[in-house]
Amino acid sequence: MIIGSGPAGLTAAIYAARGFLNPLLITGNELGGQIATTTDVDNFPGFPNGVTGPELYDQMQKQAERFGTRTVFDEVVAVDLLHHPFKIRTTSDEFETKALIIATGASPRKLGVPGENEFLGRGVSYCATCDGFFFRNKEVMVVGGGDSALQEGLFLTKFANRVRIIHRRESLRAGPSLQERMKKNEKMQVVWNSAIREIQGNGAVQTVKLEDTRTGAQSETPVSGVFVYIGHEPNTGLFKDQLAMDHEGYLIADARLHTSIPGVFAAGEVHDKVFRQAIASAGYGCMASMEAEKFLAELEHNGYPDANRQP
Ligand code: NAP
């Protein structure tokens, strides 16, 4: 079984299906994972003219199903990995599996300021692809200084009059090519050394309270949309107290993607906090699947291995 439908999960499914492992993939609520909410993907090999995130997801999904992957459109709510075969419970069913690939990925980190939850879907968003259209001829802010903030900010200039990048420092983390594109775009502007402390409005976002991170001075600025791109947190809550994790909650896996429990493998951003690229996640999906195949072959001959093995 594979949990997760991003590039890691779908690539694992393609390999597992082609290896006649009869994979069953549980998609989770966020179909396609983060890539499905990404606008333009220009760095995935094989697409010289770029591809949209949803298109890439669609192609991978079709490819996985072409070789016999069974897809369950449901969310996993509980797992028992302490007994073999492992038990996986979704909202509507229960499954057993001899090997499990965890590709649950990571989700956008929240700002954690007053108004963020209240105005979610009413001006606050974590997905420019999904919500950009609603901000035609309006002003929006994008929080963050990484590649995601700039890439999605550039996308938002298709709709918005002005896109302000709100960044807490005075230099960007984003790569040079996106910085160049931003500089050339007249609709974009960076507000350096600034942080949003509160999001305010009446039914929809109207203003934000901005703080100068050097002086602490606060001001209120009118704006219609706040797009948050400040990194991610791994989706590992389901595996707490069962699998080894690091202090940030990422799964710990060895170089061959074995987690702390034999027969459970980690693929993609659920354990990779360094590369975080769709192509890297797809690679991890391939590796996890090949390791799962070896594990299943050994299981058949030698039975279940020592459960106390640590990565
Ligand atoms: P990221 O690189 O971790 O950047 C997060 C940004 O948010 C940083 O600028 C950080 O500020 C800021 N930040 C973090 N916590 C914050 C908080 N509480 N309040 C305000 N600001 C906060 O995340 P990302 O941009 O999502 O990128 C993730 C990975 O995907 C990266 O490896 C990136 O290269 C990759 N990616 C690549 C592309 C591409 O190649 N075109 C596109 C998208 C993403 P500091 O800089 O001060 O730490």
Q: Of 11, 6, 5, 7, nearest to 292 (Cα)?
A: 11
The alpha carbons of the chain give a radius of gyration, in whole angstroms, of 21
Q: What CATH number is given for 2-108+232-302 in this structure?
A: 3.50.50.60
Same fold, 2-108+232-302 and 124-228: yes
Tokens of 74: 């449901």
Which are the catalytic amino acids?
Answer: 127, 130-131
DSSP 250-266: PBP--TT-B-SSTTEEE
- Report CA-CA distances (Å) from 80 to 29, 238, 242, 305: 20, 10, 8, 17
The H or E element containing residue 227 is strand 225-228
The number of the ligand 1 atom at minimal distance from the alpha carbon of 275 is 32
User: Looking at residue 259, what is its pLDDT?
Assistant: 98
Quote the pLDDT of residue 109: 94
List Cα–Cα distances, 15 to 48, 55, 63, 94, 182, in angstroms: 24, 20, 10, 24, 39
Count, residues in the chain: 311
Residue of the CA atom closest to atom 29 of ligand 1: 276
Ligand 1 atom with the shortest distance to the CA of 112: 18
Residue 13 φ then ψ, to 5°: -65, -40
Residue among 143, 148, 194, 212 to mutate when testing ligand 1 (max atoms within 8 A of CB): 148
Q: What is the pLDDT of residue 16?
A: 98
Q: Atom of ligand 1 at shortest distance to CA of 232?
A: 26
pLDDT, residue 11, reads 98
pLDDT of residue 308: 52
Q: Is 3.50.50.60 the CATH number for 124-228?
A: yes
| pTM of this structure | 0.80
For the chain, list residues with pLDDT below 70: 306-311
For the chain, domain boundaries: 2-108+232-302, 124-228
pLDDT, residue 41, reads: 85
Beta strands 139-143 and 162-166 are parallel
CA 152 / ligand 1 centre spacing (Å): 11
- Predicted pLDDT at 311: 42
145 CA to middle of ligand 1, Å?
6
pLDDT at site 38: 78
Pocket-forming residues, ligand 1, beta carbon under 6 Å: 43, 143-149, 151, 168-169, 173, 195, 229-231, 276
Quick one: how many helices (H) and strands (E) in the chain?
A: 6, 20
Contact between residue 142 and residue 163 where contact means Cβ atoms under 8 Å apart? yes
Would you state the pLDDT for residue 310? 46
